[in-house]
Structure 1
Amino acid sequence: MAASRTIAATELVPLLMQYQLLTPLIRELLIDQAIESVNCSDEETEHALEQFYQAHQLTEALAQQAWLTQTGMTLAQLKVLAIRPLRIEKFKQQTWGGKLESLFLTRKLQLDQLIYSLIRTPDPEIAQELYFRIKAGEQSFAELACKYSQGPEAETNGVIGPVPVSQPHPGIADKLIHSQPGQLLPPTQLGDWYVILRLENRIPAQLDDPTRQKLLDELFDAWLSDQSSQPQPVPSQSPLLAAA
């Protein structure tokens, strides 16, 4: 076993930078600052603690005590750790919950989902031939995609999705957005490929719980990235470490 080493306080920041841990630490401290005024009820705390125990397979009292001993944490510190995700979610709701409807309306087109069929080939003549076969009804899109398409879509009869509008290549997404379901599009060159497209279905986005969570997470991540990029004093102590 290697000999133990005492790390001086002046070494800590350079070591964190060396191991690329300083930025993650600053982000976590910024989060602690942001949620400092966010409170949880006793019932919420106990529920969060119970969830933590279950997630870490610490359902027995002896296992819980062993975990505390191993990590060097007190029960109070563990409670702070356990409720931290809930406090973060409450912070998101308090900060941006009232802005979700307007944001959803501005982002709706990008949040819609598409199901489409695709054939890709590097040969423009093959692409043109396949297009005319499908258009004339000689062979199905699925049959030709399975046989000729040179991408993973060949394993799914050419069908891709449902996927968000933002996921496909911008050239593909633009054509699909302006298409009607069932409309066969002639071959288009995208880089080294010639693609044949057909929109199968467009699924309009709804402001349901998963979409709300997605928007909240995006707003939170953008806020955190912005805060992390701004020079500012780092809190001397995180609430997680301060709890006793």
Structure 2
Amino acid sequence: MLRVLNVSQEEILYHIRISCQIPSLLEGIATRKIIADAAKQADLKIEPEELQQAADNLRLANKLLKAEDTWAWLKKYHLSVDDFEELAYTNLLSNKLAMHLFADHIEPFFYEHELDYAGAVIYEVILDDEDLALEVFYALQECEISFQQIARQYIKEPALRRAGGYQGIRRHIDLKPEIAAAVFAANPPQILKPIMTPKGVHIILVEEIIQPQLDEQLRVKILGDLFAAWLKQQMAELEISAQIEDGNSSTEAI
């Protein structure tokens, strides 16, 4: 039989404090206030049908496909139906503010940073010994051994070894500068001369260079990045002061 443990609001606040979560909690509150104030200044409005769609999107994002799923989710997070609507409203307001501030900045930002969004399909093996790496590289050049063979021989991590060292599509900004410069100067398919980094000596097969396209997915990412940078700047200009009471009054500022 399950025992019931009653937890008071005071105990919840005390746990938040002693687990050092107050600063992140205050930042979250401040972010909501910044968004609300900026949306008010911009005179942004939320229409009922927009809010309904935002609520549907929230359910979908949390896999709340049935009414009982929604009720269980609300119970788990101690939320009311009004809280759920407020959460949907906040998400929608944040998205509308981001569009209001940066919709016209997406294309200029993309073309200014186009190289950052280029992608490369690469395979990689990292060795500890530079002489061995050069020996392997020249053997690959002479077709004495395949990249899959050296991956099976030198990669220790099982899943990566089975995949032949496949790294997926890596963007320019995902790679160390010395590796990115060589990868995106390659003429695929090409095996790069070994590159030394603090991780070891990298032998990289560049299979394909993918030129960036400003599709909807990338638009959403750029919009999110611009909005996040704006919020970070707003936070940097803000001092957060909160009155926290635990029997004694104290003021915390971050």
| Range with greater deviation from structure 2 (209-218 or 28-37) | 28-37
- The CA deviation at 1:188 is 2.5
Amino acid of the structure 1 residue aligned with 2:21: Y
- The CA deviation at 1:155 is 3.3
Correspondent of 1:38 among 44, 50, 60: 44
For residues 125-136 of structure 1, the aligned pairs below 5 Å read 125-136=131-142
Amino acid of the structure 1 residue aligned with 2:29: L
Correspondent of 1:103 among 103, 109, 122: 109
Q: Does 1:49 align with 2:55?
A: yes
Q: Does 1:231 align with 2:238?
A: yes
Structure 2 CA distance for aligned equivalents of residues 208 and 181 of structure 1 = 24
- The CA deviation at 1:150 is 5.1
Amino acid of the structure 2 residue aligned with 1:119: V
Normalized against structure 2, the TM-score is what?
Answer: 0.74
- The answer as to whether partners of 2:30 and 2:240 remain within 8 angstroms in 1 is no
Change (3 A) 1:17 1:94: farther
Where structure 1 has 5 or more consecutive residues not aligned to the other structure, the ranges are: 235-244
What do residues 152-195 of structure 1 show as CA deviations (whole Å, max 9, x unaligned)? 74332122221211112222111111111122222232225122
Normalized against structure 1, the TM-score is what?
Answer: 0.77
Aligned to 1:205: 212
- The CA deviation at 1:225 is 0.7
Aligned to 1:237: none
Correspondent of 1:83 among 54, 74, 89: 89
- The answer as to whether partners of 1:120 and 1:150 remain within 8 angstroms in 2 is no
What is the root-mean-square deviation in Å for CA atoms of aligned residues? 3.3
Structure 1 CA distance for aligned equivalents of residues 200 and 58 of structure 2 = 50
Correspondent of 2:222 among 195, 205, 215: 215
- The answer as to whether partners of 2:122 and 2:170 remain within 8 angstroms in 1 is no
Query: Identical aligned pairs, as a percentage?
Result: 21
- The CA deviation at 1:2 is 6.9
Aligned to 2:21: 19
Aligned to 2:67: 59
**Secondary structure class of the residue paired with 1:200:** strand
Aligned to 1:174: 181
Amino acid of the structure 2 residue aligned with 1:26: A
Structure 2 CA distance for aligned equivalents of residues 230 and 104 of structure 1 = 27
- The answer as to whether partners of 2:126 and 2:201 remain within 8 angstroms in 1 is yes
Amino acid of the structure 2 residue aligned with 1:34: A
Aligned to 1:154: 161
- The answer as to whether partners of 1:16 and 1:22 remain within 8 angstroms in 2 is no
Where structure 2 has 5 or more consecutive residues not aligned to the other structure, the ranges are: 242-254
